[in-house]
Amino acid sequence: LAIITLEAFPGMWINAFIVCVLCTAWVKKKTLNSNEKILLLLGCSRFWCLCFSWIYVFVSEILPYYLLVHPIFQLLQGSYSFFNCSNLWVSACLCGFYCIKIANFRNRFFIYLKVKIDRMVPWLLLGSVMFSLIIGILVYNTIDKAVCKNLNFTCQERLWEATIGIEEHFFPLYFLTGFLYTTSFMVVIFSAVFLLFSLWRHKCKMQTNSMNSLSMDAHIRAMKSILSFFIMYSINFMFSILTLVYSKKNQSLVILLGYSIQHAYPGVHSLILIFSNPKLEKTLLRILSCMKCKLCMR
């Protein structure tokens, strides 16, 4: 609980900062660009994902019998699954958006995507939310059926006696979760590879023409964001799969390490996104400087 708290609360504050800044800009400008729309939904998803995850850990450690009150356990797991799935897919959308917007290819389909990407972003985000909602409902219903069928509420000594019977209901969810992780991970891999290849081609072209280009800087900034995301996403993906595998083997050390990585990832990556976005970085530095001045005055 202490480890998860130390990781979840900073992550919630970081993502709450992103949401507040973008919502303020939305109110002032009456509009948001595509990148800001993705970041706004990503910040909301990560904030609530960490929030529900921490609540579940807190209740399970401090007040475990409250999980037996219908439908607290089902709601916590369903809500966490919804926001976690949304986090994964919106993250994949962000990588795909960077790749399509920055990379330069002469393929007709790629050119079509580059022209239409701004119109497609709201629909991609809506699709991500709807798909995540379906996953959350499936998780809720599966857990509800498993608990109602296998759990004996009349005998406290046998409250979790039917764990093996419950886990049989979770095999489709394990498969679906693994498929979700793998699909979003593949989007990140392809985005990184395509952008890296585009950067290499563009660099060779600039060297041949002995020219410097602003698009090179855009390539490099986007590449740094995607590569940092790719590294962290790879680590998170590996430990997410290990957590799924070892959750049935009661390997508490591996599960604890996996949960620690999964809770640290949203905050760390969101912090990188802040420093790769000039507006968010400027606002954060201004807030930090104001806080520093107030502390010095005291």
The pLDDT, as a whole number, for residue 259 is: 77
127-166 per-position pLDDT tens digit = 999 988 988 898 888 877 776 665 544 443 344 443 444 4
Domain membership flag for residue 66: yes
Domain membership flag for residue 165: yes
Question: Which tokens hold the place of 39?
Answer: 């970041």
The pLDDT, as a whole number, for residue 237 is: 73
Round to whole Å and give the CA distance between 85 and 134: 10
77-136 per-position pLDDT tens digit = 889 889 988 988 898 888 888 888 877 777 788 888 888 888 999 999 999 999 889 888
Domain membership flag for residue 211: no
Average pLDDT, integer, range 13-34: 91
Residue 40 has pLDDT above 90, yes or no: yes
The pLDDT, as a whole number, for residue 150 is: 58
Least confident window among 73-87, 170-184, 217-231: 217-231
Round to whole Å and give the CA distance between 184 and 90: 9
Number of domains in the chain: 1
Which has the higher per-residue pLDDT, 75 or 261?
75
The pLDDT, as a whole number, for residue 13 is: 93
The pLDDT, as a whole number, for residue 126 is: 93
Domain membership flag for residue 250: yes
**CB 90 within 8 Å of CB 40:** no
Q: What's 59's domain CATH number? A: 1.20.1070.10
CA 145 vs CA 63, 158, 163, 169: distances in Å:
23, 18, 13, 8
Domain range spanning residue 72?
A: 1-203+217-284
The pLDDT, as a whole number, for residue 203 is: 66
Domain membership flag for residue 289: no
Q: What is the DSSP letter of 277?
A: S
The pLDDT, as a whole number, for residue 15 is: 94
Domain membership flag for residue 64: yes
Domain membership flag for residue 103: yes
**CB 81 within 8 Å of CB 102:** no
Angle value at C-alpha 271, between 230 and 213, nearest 5 degrees = 65
The residue written with tokens 């992103």 in the block is 18
Classified as helix, coil or strand, 249 is coil
The pLDDT, as a whole number, for residue 280 is: 86
How many residues make up the chain in this entry?
298
Instruction: Report long-range pairs for 109-117 (Cβ below 8 Å, ≥24 apart).
Output: 117/34
Q: With the C-alpha atoms ordered 236, 242, 246, 247, is the resulting torsion angle positive or negative?
A: positive
Which has the higher per-residue pLDDT, 52 or 226?
52
Question: Which tokens hold the place of 136?
Answer: 């959350």
240-272 per-position pLDDT tens digit = 777 666 665 555 676 777 778 878 888 888 888
Question: Which tokens hold the place of 58?
Answer: 């807190």
Domain membership flag for residue 295: no
